[in-house]
Structure 1
C-alpha cells in the first residue's frame, strides 16, 4: 500500500513500528494514518489522542512533546496492545493512577436522620429540655379535652389549596429503581436487547469485583438535549448492542437516571459534568487487591464507532491483567478445593479409624464383660455347690436312725430314686415331710461310712430339686403343705422321686 507522499517500504524501521501501533488501535487506513503521524512527529501517543479528541492548534507543544518523547521500544507480541492502549488513554491527561470507583449505598429518605451541628445542639439543649417538660402536661390536657388543640389551630384561608410535593420522583429501593428505569426505557424507545443489570449500583460493583468483569456505567438525564439522540443512534445501534451482549467481553451494564437518588449520588461521586455519561470500571490489581477504578470516561454524544473504540481500548488495556488475576484466583481456588478435599478425606479416614477403634473397644469390653459374667457364674455355681455339700453334711447329722420293727407309729415307704434304684425304709409317723425330703437328699452320704462333721452354711437357703409324688391317684407331697409323714402318707406308701427341671422352676416362680 502507498500513501499520498511515500510508500510504507520507504519508512524507517521506527516509523513502520509507529504506523503499526497506530493502526492497531485506530483501525485507520494507511493513506490517512501516515499524514497524521507526520503532523505528530511520528509520536504514537499524540497521534492516537488527535484521532479520538481532534487535532489541537498548539503545534509548539506537539514539537516539544516530539523532542522529549522516548524512542519506540522493540515490539513484543504479548504486550503490544497493552502499551498502545495505555498510551491512548493517558495521552490527554496526566499519568496519575486511575480514579477509584466509589461504592455508594443510598439510604432511603424516610430513614435519614437529620442532626444539627454539635455546637447548635449544645446551645439549644436547655430549650429542648424545657419544651419537653412543658409538652407533657399539655399532652395530658389534650387527652382529657380533645377540643383544646382545635381551638388553637389556625383556620385555613378561603381559596387556598393544600400544597403537595411534586418535585422529583418517588424514592424507591435500588432494585425497584432499576425495574422502573427499564420499564420507562422500553416505553420511550421501544423493546431492546440491552443486558441491563436489574439491581443497584453497589450490587453491580460488588458483582464486577467478585467475577472480575468490566462494569459499564451509563448515566442519563431526560432533560438533556443529547440524551435521546445518544440512546437512539449510539446505545441502541446494532454493533453496540452486540458488543454489550457478547459474553467474551465480560461486561456488566448498569444504567441510571440522575432523577433517582442513587444515580445522582453516582454521578456526583464520578464527577460527571456532562450528559450522557459513560464510565468503564474494572478491577485494578496494581492499586490493591480489592480496588475498583474508573479506567475510561465517555461524555456527550459520540458515534457508535468512536464509542466502541474507546470502550475496547479500555477493556484491552486491562484484559490481560484481569486474565492474570483470574488465573491466580483459579489456581488458588483449585488449591483450596484440593486442600478441602484432602482435609475431608483425612477427616473421613480419621472418623473411620475412630469408629473402628470404638467398635474394637466395645467388642473388647463386651468380651471382657462376658468373660467376667461367665467367671462370676462359675464362681457363684461353685460357691453354691460347696454350700450345698456343706448343708448336706450338716443336715445328714440330724437325720434320725431308722425305727425298729417293734416301734409304734411307723410308716413304711418305698422310694423309687431317679437312678432306677428302689429303696424301702421305715420312718416315724410323727416326723415331718421335710425329714423324708432330707433323707432322699442325703441318701448318698448315708451310704458313705466317712461323713465329717459340719456346720450350717451362712446366707444359704436350701432348695430341693425334686419332689415326692404318688401315683394312682397322683398326689404331690410338698414341704410347703406341712404335716407329718403319717398324716400325708398313712401306714405305707410307694413314692417316686421326680426331678424338677429349670423350666418348671421358672413356671412355679411365675405362678
Structure 2
C-alpha cells in the first residue's frame, strides 16, 4: 500500500468503509480497474458489470459529450422545499443498514453460485447500492415499461404530444408515450372531460432528456421513485395525476422523464442529481454560465449556457404543503422557477430560431449561387461548344478549299501537260503530215486537178489551200490544226517525232486519234463543215478528200471550235496568199 498516493488511499478507505472492510487486495484491484472511481467500483461490487445493450453502439465521441453534460450540471437549490427531518433520518438509516446490505449481497452471490433460490432482501435506507432490475436493456423500452405500469397503477392515461420529442443518442427514436394516440383522445379533450391523466413522459434515456434541453431550450422535469418507500404510491396517485400540474407541465412544454431507481438509468440519474429520498422531483434547464469575475452580457450568456439543476424536491406528497405535493410544485413553477428561467430560455430559443433562419438563408443563398454558377457554366460550355463547332466548320472549309485548290492545281498541271503534248503534235504535224501545196500546173480544176478549199478560221479570217485529190481527211484536219500554232513557235523548232512515240507517221497519228477516250472531236478541238449548204465533214481515218461528199470540186469550209477547246489567235500573215479575205472565186461583180 505504500506506493499509493493520498488520493488513492482515501478512495481505498472509502470503498472499504462502504463494503464493510472487504479484502484490501480485492478492493484495490477493483479500484484500479475503474481508474480509482469509488462510485463505479461500488457499482461493480454490488451490481455486477452492466449488461450489454442490444442497440447500436454509441460512438465514443457521443459518450464523451454526454459525460461532459452530466459533469457540467450546475446545482441551484435555492428553493427546494426539503423536509430536513426526513433527510437526517434517511442518512442515519443508510449508515446503519450498510453492513446488512453487504451481508445480503454476499449471501445472494454465494447462493447464486450454488443455484439455490432465495427471496430478495431489501434495505430501505441504502438506496445508493440497490440491485438493478433485469429486463429490457434499451432505455426506450425500460421507460415505456415504467410508464405502462404507472398507468395501470393509477388508472390514468398519458398526455401524448402530436409530434416526436427527439431522437435518442443511440440512434433509436425517443418520444412521449403513445397510449393516448391509440385511444384517439387529444390532450385538451382529456382535460375538459376531467379524466385522470399523467404527464407526457419522454421515452428515452436520461442523457436524451438533457440533449433535448440543450438542443431545444426546454425545461426538464425529472421524476424518480422507489417502490420501497411508503410515500411513493400516494405521490403517484395525487401528484402525478393532478390535472392542474399535468396541464401546467404540458402547456409549458416541459420534457418530463421518470423511472424507478431499481432500473439502471434511473439509479444513475439519482446519483447525479444527489437524490436522498423518494419520491424525488428535479427541474433542469439551460442557464447562463456562472462567471464571478464579471457580469456576462445577454449575448454572451446565450452563446455559452450550461445545464443547471434549478430545484430539487423530495419526500412526502401529502399534505398540500409537503415538498412533492401538486400544490407545492405548482406554486414553485408559477412563482419562482418559470419567472426566473423563462426570459433566458426565450432569448435562447430566439437565438436558435435566428440561427435556423441564418442557416436556411445560407442554404438558399448557396442554392442560388449554385444555380447561378450552373447557368454560367452552361452558358460558358455552350459558348465553348459553339466556338468549337465554328472552328471545326472553318477548319473543314479550309481543308475543303485546300483540297479544291490542290485538285484545281493538279487539273491545271494535267491540262498544261496535255496542252503541251497537243502543241507538240501540232508542230510535228506541221513538219511531217502537212504536205507542200501542189505546184501551179497541178492546181487546175477537174478530175485530175487539185482541190481548192477556202477555210474560214474562228478568228473570222480565211485561208485558201490546194490539196491533191489523194490527200486524206487526216491531212486536211492536220492543216487546219497547224493554223492554231502561235506565231512565236518557229517551224525550225518543230519536233521530229510526236511526244511518246518512237517513229511518227500518218498512220501513227490516225491510231493515236482513234484511241482517244474523250472522242475525236475533243482531241482535234474543232469541227469542219461546208459553208453552204451546211454539211459537217467528220474525220475518218484514211478517207480521201475526193471521196467526201461536197468536196469533189473544192469548196468553202468553216472551222467550228469544240466547247472548252483552246482558242488561238491566228495572225493573217500565217494564212497564205489570199489572206486579204478574197476566196478566189469569180463573181458577177468581179466581171464588171
Looking at CA atoms only, which structure, 1 or 2, has the larger radius of gyration? 2
What TM-score, normalized by structure 1, do the two folds share? 0.48
TM-score (norm 2): 0.42
